[in-house]
């Protein structure tokens, strides 16, 4: 999985924009106040946050391993962890989060496991779709807790409405796309083929493609989704790993606040984490900057902590769930690329 000069330029521009957003966010909060709050953090609990983040990554890797197993692609737990770390790396260095990283992730899975590209893309797309279910479920649990124990404020009411809208809109969009998959394939082919043709005239290594070839690949992708949907036991197991991963991710934020001396109701982080992750679809690498801003905006009114504490908690949490997986994923991606040909890593 190699990035050309254009890809590297896009990644660089994305990180520059993300750093600019981070500077704006923490300048508003007060960089000196955030640094002061971080200096008071319990180092032992911060280490625990990193350990929890690794367990979160492993749990979602097991979800990917389960889905690949449904498709007849069998990998060891260790290699699945490496693959998902690579997927996280791809998501975290490309704009629009998972939407931007999935093609690179599918290519990595394909090269490492010898699976067809459409199969690999279907697998990682399914895992991302599965992850949506528990995120919304946990968010609704958190809102229900606040609705029964506390009086809902304006912020929580807005969050609740956002969750309800997502819970309705996303499944309807997926259902519409599935029922119209043949027409969707034709539309996508009609858009992609001319674009590739233009690029091929400018970039010599790129070859033109035909609409029939694109439609064939799209149908192969939908065929993969159908195979996965037919294994309910496997889907339930993948859903379990996904839900456990969301719990661990929420625990990471809770521990980040606890390390700063501010324990909050766990129900709060149950819906702050998934709602905050929506900012990951922003045109920034892995949502860097956008997610931190969302966490601060949500933490202050919902938990009652100061903006400085919220900013410090966001730094610890994102350090464990963004920077740590990104660095680990970058290293493992290089390892997988180098060793997949001779099979040095266990399958």
Q: What is the pLDDT of residues 32-47, one digit of tens each?
A: 999 999 999 999 999 9
3-class SS shares of the chain: helix, strand, coil, % to 5:
85, 0, 15
In this predicted structure, the answer to whether residue 204 has a pLDDT above a threshold of 90 is no
Domain of 164, in residue numbers: 5-339
Residue 106: per-residue pLDDT = 84
Nearest to 40 by CA among 317, 262, 266: 262
In this predicted structure, the answer to whether residue 51 has a pLDDT above a threshold of 90 is yes
Q: Which helix (H) or strand (E) holds 2?
A: none
Nearest to 291 by CA among 301, 280, 281: 280
In a domain, 346, yes or no: no
Q: Between helices 117-149 and 43-70, what is the axis angle to 10°?
A: 130
- Number of CB atoms found within 10 A of residue 23's CB: 12
Task: Name the domain count of the chain.
Answer: 1
Number of separate helices (H) and strands (E) present in the chain: 14, 0
Written as one string, the DSSP assignment of 247-283 is HHHHHHHHHHHHHTT----HHHHHHHHHHHHGGGGSS
pTM of structure? 0.81
In a domain, 326, yes or no: yes
In a domain, 100, yes or no: yes
In a domain, 344, yes or no: no
* Rounded CA Rg of the chain: 21
Q: Are 94 and 326 in contact (CB under 8 A)?
A: no
Residue 206: per-residue pLDDT = 44
Within 8 A by CB and 6+ apart from 237, the residues are: 66
Per residue in 208-259, pLDDT (tens digit) is: 555 565 566 666 666 777 778 778 898 899 999 999 999 999 999 999 999 9
How large is the average pLDDT for residues 131-151? 74
Dihedral sign, CA of 84, 86, 87, 89? positive
In a domain, 347, yes or no: no
Residue 150: per-residue pLDDT = 57
Written as one string, the DSSP assignment of 39-101 is HTS-HHHHHHHHHHHHHHHHHHHHHHHHHHHHTT----HHHHHHHHHHHHHHHHHSTTTHHHH
Q: Is 181 exposed, middle or buried (0-12, 13-18, 19+ CB in 10 A)?
A: middle
User: pLDDT-based confidence at 81, cuts 50/70/90?
Assistant: very high
Residue 199: per-residue pLDDT = 45
Long-range own/partner contacts, residues 4-11 (CB < 8 A, 24 or more apart): 10/94, 10/95, 11/93, 11/94, 11/285
Highest mean pLDDT: which range of 95-99, 114-118, 292-296: 292-296
Q: Are 237 and 138 in contact (CB under 8 A)?
A: no
Residue 35: per-residue pLDDT = 93
Nearest to 267 by CA among 154, 143, 133, 152: 143
Nearest to 95 by CA among 29, 16, 213, 1: 16
In a domain, 86, yes or no: yes
Output the CA–CA distances (angstroms, integers) from residue 159 to 130, 186, 203, 265, in the order listed.
21, 37, 46, 17
In a domain, 345, yes or no: no
Task: Provide the mean pLDDT of the chain.
Answer: 79
Within 8 A by CB and 6+ apart from 217, the residues are: 117, 118
In this predicted structure, the answer to whether residue 56 has a pLDDT above a threshold of 90 is yes
In this predicted structure, the answer to whether residue 164 has a pLDDT above a threshold of 50 is yes
Residue 318: per-residue pLDDT = 95
In this predicted structure, the answer to whether residue 52 has a pLDDT above a threshold of 60 is yes
In a domain, 206, yes or no: yes
User: pLDDT-based confidence at 110, cuts 50/70/90?
Assistant: confident
In this predicted structure, the answer to whether residue 285 has a pLDDT above a threshold of 70 is yes
> How many angstroms separate the CA atoms of 115 and 109, rounded?
7
């Amino acid at each position: 999985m190699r990035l050309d000069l254009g890809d590297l330029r896009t990644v660089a521009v994305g990180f520059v924009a993300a750093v600019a957003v981070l500077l704006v966010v923490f300048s508003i909060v007060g960089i000196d106040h955030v640094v002061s709050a971080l200096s008071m953090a319990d180092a032992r609990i911060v280490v625990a946050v990193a350990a929890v983040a690794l367990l979160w990554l492993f749990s979602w890797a097991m979800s990917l391993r389960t889905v690949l197993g449904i498709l007849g692609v069998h990998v060891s737990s260790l290699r699945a962890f490496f693959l998902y770390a690579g997927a996280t790396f791809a998501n975290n260095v490309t704009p629009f989060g998972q939407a931007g990283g999935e093609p690179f992730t599918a290519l990595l899975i394909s090269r490492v496991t010898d699976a067809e590209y459409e199969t690999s893309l279907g697998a990682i797309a399914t895992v991302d779709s599965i992850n949506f279910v528990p995120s919304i479920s946990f968010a609704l649990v958190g809102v229900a807790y606040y609705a029964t124990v506390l009086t809902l404020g304006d912020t929580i009411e807005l969050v609740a409405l956002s969750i309800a809208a997502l819970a309705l809109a996303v499944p309807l969009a997926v259902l519409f796309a599935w029922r119209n998959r043949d027409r969707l394939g034709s539309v996508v082919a009609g858009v992609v083929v001319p674009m590739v043709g233009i690029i091929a005239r400018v970039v010599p290594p790129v070859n033109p493609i035909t609409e029939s070839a694109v439609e064939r690949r799209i149908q192969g992708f939908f065929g993969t989704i159908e195979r996965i949907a037919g294994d309910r036991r496997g889907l339930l197991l993948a859903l379990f790993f996904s839900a456990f991963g969301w719990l661990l991710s929420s625990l990471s934020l809770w521990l980040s606040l606890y390390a700063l001396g501010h324990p909050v109701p766990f129900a709060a982080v149950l819906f702050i984490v998934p709602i905050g992750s929506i900012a990951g679809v922003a045109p920034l690498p892995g949502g860097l900057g956008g997610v931190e801003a969302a966490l601060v905006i949500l933490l202050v009114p919902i938990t009652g902590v100061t903006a400085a504490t919220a900013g410090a908690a966001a730094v610890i949490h994102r350090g464990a769930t963004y920077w740590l997986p990104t660095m680990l994923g970058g290293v493992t991606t290089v390892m997988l690329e180098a060793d997949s040909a001779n099979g040095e890593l266990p399958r």
